[in-house]
Structure 1
Amino acid sequence: MVGLGTWSLTTAALTLLLLPRSLEECGHISLSTPIVHLGDAITASCTISQNCSRLSPGSQIVWKLGTELQPGGRQQSLPDGTQESTITLPHLNDPWVLLSCYLRWGNSLQILDQAKLQAGYPPATPHNLSCIMNLTTDTLTCQWEPGPDTHLSTNFTLKSFKSRGNCQVQEEAIPDCVPKDGQSYCTIPRKHLQLYQSMGIWVQAKNALGTSVSPRLCLDPMDVVKLEPPTLWALDPSPEVIPPQPGCLQLRWESWKSSLYIDQKCELRHQPQLGGAGWTLVGPLPSKTPRHELCGLLPSTVYTLQMRCIRWPLPGHWSDWSPSLQLTSAQRAPNVRLDTWWWQKKLDPRTVDVQLFWKPMPLEEDNMHIQGYLVSWRPSGQAGAVLPLCNTTELNCTFHLPSEVQEVALVAYNAAGTSQPAPVVFSRSGPPLGGLHTMAQDPHNLWVGWDPPSLQPQGYLIEWSPGPPSPRGSHKTWKTEHNGSIAGTLLHENIRPFQLYEITVTPMYQDTMGPPQHIYAYSQETAPSHAPELHLKHIDRTWAQLEWVPQAPELGKSPLTHYTIFWTNAQHQSFSAILNTSSHDFVLPDLEPASLYHVHLMASSQAGATNSTSLTLMTLAPGESKLHIILSMFGLLLLLICLCGAARLCCRPSRKNPLWPSVPDPAHSSLGSWVPTITAEEVFQLPSLWDPSMPPITKITVLEEEEKKPGPWESNDSSGTCGLPTLVQAYVLQGDPRVSSIQPQSQSGISDQVLYGQVLGSPTSPGQGHYIRCDSTQPLLGDLTPSPKSYENLWFQTSPLKAAEPLVPNQEDDCVFGPLLDFPLLQGLQVHGVEGLGGF
C-alpha cells in the first residue's frame, strides 16, 4: 500500500502540473478524522471553489480510494456557488491509503486533491515489565513486551519515581527514559537511582488513537541485582590436598569483584563428554568456601563444568552460567573381564611358541581407562616368583614357553591398579561339536550355528577371517559367547558383501577347550567379474557371426542366468538380443552394408551383470562378396589349367625335345657311370680354349677311319697326347664368347654365317691332325628346328634326323677338346670315376 500511495502522489503531482492554470487550487478535500480505528467508517468531502465557477454546472466530481473508483458520492451546489461532493467509506480496512478527488474533464479525469487516510489500533498494554540491577555498570535496565502491532506510530516511555514503603506516595520524580526506535528496554543511569530505597516504575505506550500504561512495579534496585558469573578453576595439587578418589574431581572458583561482599549461593552443573548425556545440577554450594570435590562420576572421564550464583538470602537474579571448564575424573583400577584366545606352535621338544589374543569386556557402565596389559607365569618350584612374558598396549602378544607350562595369567592395569587376573590354560581335551552350519542373513551379517557337544560347555569362542585361509592370526575377528546353552550366534563385525569367510567355533569348558571346527561361507554372492570376449567369425553385407568362449564358474560368484548382446550403428541406434547361457555364438541380422557397428556382450546373474570389451566391425560393401567369389573361382581355374598343361608336357611319351634332359642325379652318381673309365696313365692335355691366335671354330667334325680302331680308351704311346670318349659329340666354341657376341652381322640378308671346322686325320695315325674351316650357313643343330632359346639346354642332344656317328677317340682331338669343362649342367660337379680329370 505504501508503494501504491507513493505512485498515486506522484501521479497526482504530475497531473496538477499539467492542469490548466484555471484549475489550480480549484478543489479541496476535508476529512472527518485523518486517523480512524481499523475497520471503522470515515467521511470525506471535496469542494470546488468559486475560482472554478466558469466550469459548467454539470461538472461531475469522482472519488478514488487508492486506484479504485468509489461509488456513492453525493454532489450538490452550495448557495455561494461552490460545488461539493461528499462520500462515506463504511469500512477502512487498510492501515494506509490515498483518497483522491477527480473532476471529469471530457473523456478523462483531472485530479483536484488527495488526502492520506490512516487506520490502526490503540496501543496495547505493555506487560512483563522487569528490571535488573547491574553492579558492574551501576545501572538499572528494565525491559517489557510491547504487545501486538498497532499499525500506527507508537511511542514508549519508561516512567519512574522515588518513594517509600509500597510506592503509594510519589516523593521525587525521575526523568523519563525513552528507548530507541524498535527497542523494548531502557536503562536508568546510577545518578538517578537511590539504592536500598523503593522505586515506582511503569511503561507508557501512546499513539494517535490512545494511550496505555503497564502495571506499576515497586522495587528496591538491590532486590533485582544480577551478579556476574564466577570463574571456575581446577584445584591445584598440593601436600595439604588429598588426591581425589576414583570417580571424583576437585575444583575451585572465584567471584566477581563487585559481588565480593554480597552473600550469595551458587549452583554447579556437569556433563560428561559422551553422546546424548545431559546436564546434572549440584547445589546449592556455599560461596564462603570456594572449593568443592565432586564425586560419583565415571572414572577417567572428561566432564564439562559450569557455575552460576545469586544473592542470598536477599532477593536477586541468577547470574549467567560461567564459562565452561573441562576436567577429567580420577581413575580406578580396571574392572574388566578379559576374554582370551590363543594359538600354539611347537618349535622344538622343549619350547612352544604361543600367540595370545584378548578382549577387555567392562563389567560396569563406566569409561574404562587401561594403560596396558601384562602377561606373566609362575615357574614351578619357585614360590612367589612371577616372570613377565610381555607388557604391551596391544590386544595380542607372542612369547615362548617351556613345553610343560600349561597356564599363564593376564591382567589389565592403569595408574590406579590392576584388574583381576585372567588365567589362560593351554589345553584341548574337551569333546568336540556335533556339527557346524552357516547362513547369510544379509550382506553384512552371517549366522553360524552348531550342534552342541555331548558335554555342555561353559561357552564358545568364535573366530572368522576372509578366506581362502589366511596366515594364522592375521585379519581375524573373534568373540566369546559365555552362554554354553546357545546353539548359534550372529556375526556382524567386519562382514563385507560378496566375501568368502573361514569360520571357526571352539567349545570352552571349565579348565580346558575342545577341538575347533571350521566352515567356509559367503556373506553374499556377487556378479561375474568379467564377461566373455567377443570374436568375429564371419561377416557379410547384411549379417555378421560372432562367437565367444564361456567363462568357467568363479568361486563366490552367482551362476550366469543369460547373455545379452548389444550392437549400435553409426547413427547411435541400439539393438539387443537375449541368449541363454548355453549359447556361444550369435548372428547379427539385418545389418546395413558398408556400415560400422559397435558390439558388446553382457553376462548377467542374479547378483548383477558385467559387460565385455567392445568389438567394432564393418560390414562388406554391395558386390564385394561376389567379386571375391569370382576372383577365387578364376584363380582356381587358372591354376587347374596350368597343372594340366604341365602334366601333359611332362608325361607325353612322343615328345622329341622334352623341357629338360634325362640326366642322372649328380648327387647319387658319377661321371664314370656313363663315361668310359680313363686309366690313371691317361692325362688330358687341353690347350687354352681362349687362345687369341687360333681362329674361331664353331663346329668341329671328327672323321672316322673305316678300319677297326683300337679299344675306346687305348693309348698309342707316351707322347703326352690323350683321347676323348667315343660317345662324346662336342661342339666347342673357340674364342671369347663375349667377342663373338658382338661380331657384326652378315650383310647377306639371308642368315648369319656360321663357320665350321673339319678335322682330318686318324686317331691311330701318328702326327698332328688337320682341320679345315668351312663357310656354312647351316644351323648348329642337325634338326629342322630353329636354334634353341637361352633357356633351352638342347645343344648337347643328338640330332633326331640321323643316327649319331660314333666318334673315334683321337689323341689330337682329345688334346683339342680336353675335359668336358663346358658340358652343360655338369659344370661345378664333382666327377667320380675319372681320376685323371680331377674335380671340376
Structure 2
Amino acid sequence: MYVAQKQPKPPPGGACVHRTGQESPGRCGYGLVTMESLLKSVMVMLFAFIIPLENGVRSSPCAEIQVGATVVVLGSSVNASCLLREGCPLTEGRSFRVEWHLNGQVLAALPPANQSSRVFGVYVPSFSETMGYLTCCVRQETECQIVAGMEIRAGYPPSAPQNLTCLTNLTKPYTLTCKWEPGLETHLPTNYILHTERNSKTRTRPRVYQLPAGENVCTILRADFPLFSKMRISVTAQNALGLALSEPLFLDPMEAAKFDPPVIVDVQAEPYRYGCVKLWWKLSEQQMWVLNNLAVEVRFRMWESEAWTVEMKRIDMAGLGEALEQCGMQHGTEYQFQMRVRYGQGPWSEWGDSRTRSTLERAPNDKLNVWLKVLRAESETHISVQVFWKPSKNFRANGKNVSYHVFLLGLPDRGRQQIVCRTRELHCEATLPKGTKRVYITALNSAGESSRIAVPVYQLRVPPGLEPVSDINVCPVGNRSLQVTWTPPVSPVVTEYVAEWRPLLQTDPHFLSFQLLDRNETSILISAGIEPYRPYWISVYARSKDDISLPCTVQGYSLQKAPSAAPNLRVGDIHHTRAKLAWDEVPLEQRNGMIQSYALFYWDEGGRTQVVWVKPAERRVTLTKLSPMSMYKAFIMASTEGGSVNGTIVTFRTGTADAWSDMLTVVPASVGLVLLFILTTLACFTTLACFTKHERLKMRFWPMIPDPANSSIKTWTEADTLPDFPAFQNIKDIQDPTPVHLSWFSLLDVLEGRQEKSGDGVPTTDDTWLQGGDLVESLTGSTDLPGNCEQEPLRDMVPYATVVFASPYRGQARSPSPIYLRSDSTQPLLGEESPSPKPYQNFRFQEGGRERPQSDGGSSVFWEEFPLLSVLNVNDAHGEA
C-alpha cells in the first residue's frame, strides 16, 4: 500500500510557494527541470496512490491492525485484520473473543482460519462515513478491552479545476493573479499546484507554485512572468486518492492587464460646432509609460438622464496627448462624460470620474404639440383659456433656460404682438378678448427664438355635424398603465382626437397631460406617471377643422385594493321598531379604487345577524322590523374590486312604543276592521236574501220557532178552554202555519163572582179551586214555593207558565190583567233560561181583575223574567196594561 509521507509546510499567509530548478527533484514532484520530467514524476505519484505498496500498520503490545488502505473512496469496501501477539496478558490462558468496532458500532467479525490462528479479520462492505475509527477489542465476560485501532478516511479523487483565468495588475507592485474553480467536494484535503511556462529564445523555463490546502487563488510577482510574451499556465489538483490537471491557458500578461481608470482633465464646447465637445484626458501616473495599442471608450448622457451613449476610439502613439472630439449631442444641453481604457484585447478598466459640460446653445427648432381649451367667460368682453404644450419628437430646445411666449398678433395698424403669457412651464392660463380666432406660441433661449406656431381658439359647444365620442372605457394594463378606448362619432368632419388626463387628487394644471391622436385612432395607452391605487380623470375630445366637441370623461384605476379606511357610521333617529343609520363618503385619497357597494351588518343580543346592501351612491339606510327596547350592534363594510374594509362597531338601543305610534298602528287597524265588518255584513245580508228565497235552505239554517207574540192564542174561543187541553190539533181556528204543541199550557178563567177571603183568612166557596193550595201544588210540585231554591229536582226543571184570566177573554168588555203562575217542567225551552230560576210566590186574585197580582220584587220583575210572554199582556178598555 501507499505510505503517507509528510508534506513540507507552506509559508504563512496563503501565498504560493515557488520552487526553482536547482532544488532536488524528489518530493511530490516539485522542482523538476523540464516539463517531460515533470510529467514522469506525476505518473509515478499517480501509480503510488492507486497501487498500494504495503499495508498500513497500527500496533500495540498486545495486537496490531492491518488494513488495505487508510484512505478509501467513499462507499467502497474495507478489509482489516487484527493480529494478537504472543504473550498478551489479555489472552494468555484466558477465554476471550475478538470484537470489531467502527465509530462505536459493533461489526460482525470474520472467524479465524483455524483454531490456533491468532488473526481475526473484519469486512466492511460499504464505508459510508467520511472519517471513521476502526478498533480491535478483546472481550472477557462483560468487559471489552481495546487492543489496537486505526483511523480511516473516505472521499473522492479531485476533479479537474475549471475556468482558469489570470489578470495582470500594472499598479506597483506588478503582479499576475490566477484563480480557478475547485470543482466537486472531495471530503479530503486537496492541494493545488500552479504551473507556468514561458518560451525564450534559448530554453523553456517552467515554474511550479504550491498552494495551501483549499486555496484556489495564486499571485505571482513581476519577476516570474514576462509582460509582452506568451505564457502557458495550468493547475493540478491533488489529494490522497489521486490528482487531476486543468486545461492549459495561453496568454500575454500585458493583454491580461487591467488598467487604472483614465482621468478626464477637461471638457470644452467647440466654437461654431453645435453639439460637439473636446475631451482632454490621461492615463494614471503608474501606467503612463504605455504608449500604443490602447483603446478608450467615452460615454455621455444628458444631465439627470439614465440612458448612456457609448463610443469607442483607438489611440496610437501620435494621438496619445491629443484631445478627443465627441459630437452628435443636442445644442445647449448639459452632459455628463466618463472614460475607460484597455490594452489590446485585454479587460476594460473601471469607468473614471465624471465631468460635466454644456454644448453651445442654438435657437429652438421644430414645432410644439399644443392643446388649448376655453374655460369660461370672464366677462362680456373676455374669455379665460388654458394652453398646454409639449415638445414633439423632433423638437430641440437647444438650450438650458428655455421660456415660452403665448401672444396675439396685433392688427397691421397697431404694430407689435401682444404677449398674453410668458413662462418656463409647459402650460399657462390666459385671458383673451372675445372673438379671438387664434393665438401664437414660440420657444426662446439665449441663442434665439423658434418659429411661431398658430393655435386656433375653439369654443366648447355642440357644433352642428360634430358629435362627441361615446362608449369611452378604461381598462388597467399591468399596474402602471391604462388602456382607454372609445367609439368615434359618425361625423366625417373629425380630423383628430385629444386625450387628456390628470390625477383626480390634483387640480393643478401642472399635473395635466395630453396627447393628440389621428382620426383613425380609437384607443390610447397611458403609462406616463400612472401609479397604482390612485384615481385618474380621463377625457377625450373630437376635433374638426373649425370646431371641437364636448368631452367624454371617465375615471379609472390601474390597480385597486381595499380602502384604507371605512366610513364612519352614525346613528340617527331611533324608534321602537326602526332605526336610521348614515355615513359619510370615503375620502377620495383613501378609497384605493372604485367603491362598488356598501354592506351594513347588524345583529341583536341573541346574535341573529342580518345584512343590508346599499348602492355606492346612497349613504343612508333605515333598519325596520326591529324589536322594541332591544340592544343592537352594527358596522359597515366598503368594497372595491381589490378588497373590502370593515368599519368600527356602533351600538344603539330601540325605544318603547309611544301613544302616537300606537295611534298610527291602531287607527289603520280599526279602520281595516270596520271595513271588514261592513263587507262581512253586506255579504251576510246578501246571503240571507239569497237564503230567504229558498225555503229549504231557510228552514235548514233558520227553523221555524213559535213566537208567542204572533201566536193564534188570541183567536181562541171559550169552548177552546175545555179541560181536555192541550189537544190543540182539534182546534180548527188556529192558523199557525207550523203549529207547535206545548208540553203544558193552560188557560184558566177566574170566576167573576168569587168572594174574597173572610176575615180569618178562610177562603170562600168561590175560590175553592185554590183551597189548600192544591192547584198550585199540582202545578209547581211543591207547596212551599218561595225560598225552595236548594231542592235538587228543581235544578233540572224549566219554568213553563199558565195564564189565568179573570173571565173569559172574549166575553168581557174590560179584560182583567192575566194572572201568571209558574209551572215546572223538565222539557227544555227554546230560549236557554238560567238553569236555576228564581223562586216565585203565589198571587191573590182580586175580584173583577181590578187588583193585579203583586210580587215581592214589583210588577216590573214579572215581565222581565218572561220576555216572550210579555206580549200576552192584554190592554183593558181604558188602555191600562
Tell me the TM-score normalised to structure 2 length: 0.52
| Partner-residue secondary structure (3-state), 1:266 | strand
Aligned to 1:35: 71
| Partner-residue secondary structure (3-state), 2:88 | helix
Cα distance in 2, alignment partners of residues 198 and 605 from structure 1: 74
Aligned to 1:819: none
Q: Verify the 8 A CA contact 1:98 1:114 in the aligned structure 2.
A: yes
| Partner-residue secondary structure (3-state), 1:548 | strand
The reply on whether 1:61 has 2:94 as its aligned counterpart is: no
1:279 deviation in Å?
Answer: 7.0
Aligned to 2:489: 451
1:707-739 CA-partner distances (Å, limit 9, x unpaired): xxxxxxxxxxxxxxxxxxxxxxxxxxxxxxxxx
1:393 deviation in Å?
Answer: 1.4
Cα distance in 1, alignment partners of residues 146 and 395 from structure 2: 85
Cα distance in 1, alignment partners of residues 246 and 109 from structure 2: 44
Cα distance in 2, alignment partners of residues 602 and 422 from structure 1: 56
1:525-572 CA-partner distances (Å, limit 9, x unpaired): 99996767365534xxxxxx4433799999x99998986432246xxx
Aligned to 1:537: 575
**Correspondence for 1:288 among 293, 313, 320:** 320
Gaps of 5+ in 2: 1-58, 477-481, 589-593, 615-620, 657-881
Q: Verify the 8 A CA contact 2:465 2:493 in the aligned structure 1.
A: no
Aligned to 1:73: 110
| Partner-residue secondary structure (3-state), 1:517 | coil
1:67 deviation in Å?
Answer: 3.7
Alignment of 1:437-586 (within 5 A): 437-439=470-472, 441=474, 449=487, 451-453=489-491, 456-461=493-498, 477=512, 479=514, 481-484=516-519, 505=541, 507-509=543-545, 512-514=546-548, 516-517=549-550, 533=571, 535-538=573-576, 545-548=577-580, 564-568=601-605, 574-578=607-611, 584-586=623-625
Cα distance in 1, alignment partners of residues 227 and 106 from structure 2: 64
Aligned to 2:423: 392
**130-139 or 523-532, larger mean C-alpha shift:** 523-532
Aligned to 1:761: none
| Partner-residue secondary structure (3-state), 2:80 | strand
The reply on whether 1:84 has 2:91 as its aligned counterpart is: no
Cα distance in 1, alignment partners of residues 365 and 415 from structure 2: 24
> 1:46 is aligned with what amino acid?
C
> 1:96 is aligned with what amino acid?
M
Judging changes above 3 Å, is the alpha-carbon distance between structure 1 residues 345 and 96 closer, same or farther for their aligned structure 2 residues? closer
Alignment of 1:130-529 (within 5 A): 131-145=166-180, 146-159=182-195, 164-165=200-201, 167-168=203-204, 170=205, 176-191=208-223, 203-210=235-242, 223=254, 226-233=257-264, 235-237=266-268, 241-242=270-271, 245-246=274-275, 248-262=276-290, 263-268=292-297, 270=299, 272=301, 280=310, 282-286=312-316, 288-297=320-329, 300=333, 302=335, 305-311=338-344, 317-323=346-352, 325=354, 327=356, 330=359, 333=364, 335-343=366-374, 352=382, 354-364=384-394, 371-381=402-412, 385-399=416-430, 406-415=437-446, 417-426=448-457, 431=464, 433-434=466-467, 437-439=470-472, 441=474, 449=487, 451-453=489-491, 456-461=493-498, 477=512, 479=514, 481-484=516-519, 505=541, 507-509=543-545, 512-514=546-548, 516-517=549-550
The reply on whether 1:102 has 2:102 as its aligned counterpart is: no
1:187-233 CA-partner distances (Å, limit 9, x unpaired): 33345567767877654544334455567778776x55615234242
Judging changes above 3 Å, is the alpha-carbon distance between structure 1 residues 284 and 329 closer, same or farther for their aligned structure 2 residues? farther
Q: Verify the 8 A CA contact 1:562 1:603 in the aligned structure 2.
A: yes
1:355 deviation in Å?
Answer: 3.1
Gaps of 5+ in 1: 1-22, 539-544, 621-840
Q: Verify the 8 A CA contact 2:159 2:183 in the aligned structure 1.
A: yes
1:62-89 CA-partner distances (Å, limit 9, x unpaired): 112234332252335797xx83212243
**355-364 or 602-611, larger mean C-alpha shift:** 602-611
1:59 deviation in Å?
Answer: 1.6
Judging changes above 3 Å, is the alpha-carbon distance between structure 1 residues 65 and 338 closer, same or farther for their aligned structure 2 residues? same
Judging changes above 3 Å, is the alpha-carbon distance between structure 1 residues 64 and 618 closer, same or farther for their aligned structure 2 residues? farther
- Structure with the larger helix share: 2
The reply on whether 1:600 has 2:617 as its aligned counterpart is: no
* Percent of pairs with identical residues: 17
Cα distance in 2, alignment partners of residues 91 and 552 from structure 1: 78
Q: Verify the 8 A CA contact 1:372 1:413 in the aligned structure 2.
A: yes
Aligned to 1:587: 626
Judging changes above 3 Å, is the alpha-carbon distance between structure 1 residues 213 and 297 closer, same or farther for their aligned structure 2 residues? same
Alignment of 1:609-628 (within 5 A): 614-617=650-653
Q: Verify the 8 A CA contact 1:200 1:218 in the aligned structure 2.
A: yes
> 2:119 is aligned with what amino acid?
E
Aligned to 1:799: none
Judging changes above 3 Å, is the alpha-carbon distance between structure 1 residues 446 and 87 closer, same or farther for their aligned structure 2 residues? closer
Equivalent pairs, count: 562
1:635-663 CA-partner distances (Å, limit 9, x unpaired): xxxxxxxxxxxxxxxxxxxxxxxxxxxxx
Cα distance in 2, alignment partners of residues 602 and 217 from structure 1: 75
> 2:200 is aligned with what amino acid?
R
Judging changes above 3 Å, is the alpha-carbon distance between structure 1 residues 244 and 103 closer, same or farther for their aligned structure 2 residues? farther
**Correspondence for 1:45 among 50, 72, 81:** 81
Q: Verify the 8 A CA contact 2:295 2:343 in the aligned structure 1.
A: yes
Judging changes above 3 Å, is the alpha-carbon distance between structure 1 residues 513 and 325 closer, same or farther for their aligned structure 2 residues? same
Q: Verify the 8 A CA contact 1:448 1:489 in the aligned structure 2.
A: no
Aligned to 1:5: none
1:288 deviation in Å?
Answer: 1.9
Cα distance in 2, alignment partners of residues 559 and 305 from structure 1: 54
| Partner-residue secondary structure (3-state), 1:588 | coil
1:341 deviation in Å?
Answer: 0.6
> 2:102 is aligned with what amino acid?
L
Aligned to 2:699: none
1:117 deviation in Å?
Answer: 0.8
| Partner-residue secondary structure (3-state), 1:75 | coil
1:392 deviation in Å?
Answer: 0.4
Alignment of 1:665-744 (within 5 A): none
1:456 deviation in Å?
Answer: 0.6
> 1:48 is aligned with what amino acid?
L
| Partner-residue secondary structure (3-state), 1:236 | strand
Cα distance in 2, alignment partners of residues 609 and 191 from structure 1: 75
| Partner-residue secondary structure (3-state), 2:112 | strand
Tell me the TM-score normalised to structure 1 length: 0.54
Judging changes above 3 Å, is the alpha-carbon distance between structure 1 residues 365 and 150 closer, same or farther for their aligned structure 2 residues? farther
> 2:626 is aligned with what amino acid?
V
Cα distance in 1, alignment partners of residues 537 and 155 from structure 2: 79
Judging changes above 3 Å, is the alpha-carbon distance between structure 1 residues 292 and 489 closer, same or farther for their aligned structure 2 residues? closer
Cα distance in 2, alignment partners of residues 517 and 508 from structure 1: 12
1:133 deviation in Å?
Answer: 4.2
Cα distance in 2, alignment partners of residues 553 and 197 from structure 1: 81
1:243 deviation in Å?
Answer: 6.1
| Partner-residue secondary structure (3-state), 2:268 | coil
| Partner-residue secondary structure (3-state), 2:518 | coil
Q: Verify the 8 A CA contact 1:465 1:475 in the aligned structure 2.
A: no
Q: Verify the 8 A CA contact 1:42 1:92 in the aligned structure 2.
A: yes
Judging changes above 3 Å, is the alpha-carbon distance between structure 1 residues 291 and 431 closer, same or farther for their aligned structure 2 residues? farther
Judging changes above 3 Å, is the alpha-carbon distance between structure 1 residues 442 and 63 closer, same or farther for their aligned structure 2 residues? same
Cα distance in 2, alignment partners of residues 402 and 487 from structure 1: 35
**302-311 or 440-449, larger mean C-alpha shift:** 440-449
1:369-427 CA-partner distances (Å, limit 9, x unpaired): 77221123332236984444332012333455566764331022345654442112346
